[in-house]
Structure 1
């Protein structure tokens, strides 16, 4: 791991050791959204034409005392080293470490029609019971599916759609589609 992601890793280590990782994750998410909503801010703080002291002063005005000191210091280091534009990498690594430490997995249920809240809840409970992880389940509609649900959990595809089962049957029968 190199660059901005290593700062996210180090930030997580500090925060986890002090058991403030959840609070800092919330601040990190809010800051990431703020940067995404105002990309010119990142450009300004990364502009080498602006003296380093001025860039750090602007950062201090915006963040010092408003986010945890560890998060502020990481942003200052990224600014000093010209890496603040890669803040998203830092946040992604922190989030990855947080989810791993807290046994959380993102999952997506792809269906031909929207799943009801009850269906999503039942599916989420089943996945959590079978994996031993907390599952954050999202539904995406794909009208190309004939029926059933295609699940993706942490990059692993669990095929339960009718189309997937038909494709498997075709392969078994030796047809090529």
Structure 2
């Protein structure tokens, strides 16, 4: 999942503000809620893009929908609406969460496997790969991809560790063609 430069900048600014005010964890939890709401309700994002609603109406919708969230998150969402960046909400949330996790020595790892990984497998992967990327632990998101046949592909930030059978067969094929 690629994050835009705009989302990264907003996330960094929000993170610094939350850090100054001791609200990093609160803002992270709030952004997890916002991200989930936007993922579960794609119509909300479409509604916020609608030219039929004014900026004031869009802000009012956000304030009503997320009334229990921190003022920092609400103000950031309002600012995104003002600057016509409301399509960046999910990416902003992802970027902020990665910043917060990174500050605690944790990285986000997207693991692609042919079958669902058990908790024990995820813990073993976290232990094995965290040191490789200079972190204490990994927060693992397991994505099942039956086309892999077997093995794992792990993406941590910009690094990809590909130990899938599919990839090994491709490497073997390249070697044999030489």
Question: TM above 0.5, one fold?
Answer: yes
Displacement, 1:142?
Answer: 4.8
Alignment-derived partner of residue 97 in structure 2: 95
Distance 1:61 1:146 in 2: 47
Instruction: Rate the CA distance shift 1:59–1:149 in 2: closer, same or farther, 3 A.
Output: closer
3-state SS in 1 of match to 2:11: helix
Matched-pair contact (CA < 8 Å) for 2:108–2:157: yes
Report the more deviating stretch, 144-153 or 47-56. Answer: 144-153
Alignment-derived partner of residue 58 in structure 1: 61
Paired residues, number: 174
Displacement, 1:21?
Answer: 1.2
Displacement, 1:121?
Answer: 2.0
Displacement, 1:44?
Answer: 3.4
Superimposed CA distance per residue, residues 71-93 of structure 1 (whole angstroms, 9 cap, x where no aligned partner): 11111112222222321232233
Matched-pair contact (CA < 8 Å) for 1:109–1:149: yes
Question: Aligned-residue CA RMSD in angstroms?
Answer: 3.1
Matched-pair contact (CA < 8 Å) for 2:98–2:107: no
Distance 2:157 2:5 in 1: 23
Ranges in structure 1 where 5+ consecutive residues have no aligned partner: none
Q: 2:33 aligns with which of 30, 33, 44?
A: 30
Q: Does 1:6 find its partner at 2:9? A: yes
Alignment-derived partner of residue 41 in structure 1: 44
Superimposed CA distance per residue, residues 87-110 of structure 1 (whole angstroms, 9 cap, x where no aligned partner): 123223322322332332222444
Alignment-derived partner of residue 154 in structure 1: 157
3-state SS in 2 of match to 1:175: helix
Report the more deviating stretch, 141-150 or 13-22. Answer: 141-150
Distance 2:11 2:59 in 1: 19
3-state SS in 1 of match to 2:176: coil
Instruction: Rate the CA distance shift 1:46–1:150 in 2: closer, same or farther, 3 A.
Output: closer
TM-score, normalisation: structure 1:
0.74
Alignment-derived partner of residue 176 in structure 1: 177
3-state SS in 2 of match to 1:105: strand
TM-score, normalisation: structure 2:
0.74
Alignment-derived partner of residue 105 in structure 1: 107
